[in-house]
Amino acid sequence: MSQFHRSYKKRGSAKGGRESRAVLIVTEGSVTELVYFTRLRQLLRLSRDLVEVAPGRGTDPENLVKDAVRRREARKREARKRTSDRVPFDEVWCVFDAEGGRRGQELKAARDLARGEKIHTVISRPCFEFWLLLHIQYSSSDFPDCDAAAAFLAQKLPGYRKNAPPMDLLLGLIPCAVQNATKLRSDHERTGSISPGTDVDFLVRALNDMTRPENQLALDSCP
């Protein structure tokens, strides 16, 4: 867990649970991740101006982080001009996969850059589909690649199609996914393993903390 994941609550929502900080989420995937976080934002009744979800322009994790930096600086310049009510981003999160060779230098370069820029990295091993699987069941099976994870997910999730998962069903099971991700992380601490795994639950908790109490998900209660 990065120092930024540990500290996000310190910069989190003010008392009473209100939209107290502006967040940028940059996703590697241009479909599934984009739709998932957009729908989650709507579910939590967070405004688009304070939670922006955008597909990254980078072709690899490091360039994704660079694109996030560019977007953050552009928003800062826009806020300085006072041409709109939009405020600078307080937090930036980059969502990408660790499939294949990204477990090596490519992934390290992205994380090092993000750390220097105080940007959160949200990494799923092997890919975002593993996070979706955790909505349905706990799993510690290490899939060789994203295709294998997606194929297994298709067996377990009714109505699943690549780039078109059943979002209504998944959003209702977010507390289960958060609990399963937390359990898996605890199991990995015991075994020394890192794969499979996901950091998406940190981002979900951060967004949930932003909204008003009446809109928050009961993340400690799996239906």
pLDDT digits (tens, 9 = 90+) for 4-57: 454 344 344 444 443 468 999 999 988 999 999 999 999 999 999 899 999 998
Give the HSE-up count for residue 33: Cα atoms under 13 Å, Cβ half-sphere: 27
Cα 87 to Cα 49, 50, 80, 220, distances in angstroms = 8, 8, 9, 32
Q: How far apart are CA 119 and CA 200, in angstroms?
A: 14
Q: What radius of gyration, in Å, describes the C-alpha atoms of the chain?
A: 17
> What does the pLDDT profile of the chain (223 residues) look like in tens digits?
443 454 344 344 444 443 468 999 999 988 999 999 999 999 999 999 899 999 998 778 999 999 999 999 999 998 888 766 789 999 999 999 998 656 678 889 999 999 999 999 999 999 999 999 999 999 999 999 999 999 999 999 988 888 889 999 999 999 999 999 999 999 999 999 889 999 999 999 999 999 999 999 999 989 8
Which residue's entry shows tokens 């980059």?
94
- Structural domains of the chain, ranges and CATH numbers in brackets: 3-9+22-213 (3.40.50)
Q: What are phi and psi of 153, to 5 degrees?
A: -60, -40
**φ, ψ (nearest 5 deg) of residue 45:** 60, 45
45 dihedral zone (left: phi>0; alpha: psi -120 to 50; beta): left
What does the DSSP assignment read for 16-38?
A: T----S-EEEEES-SSHHHHHHH
Count of beta carbons in the 10 Å neighbourhood of residue 30: 13
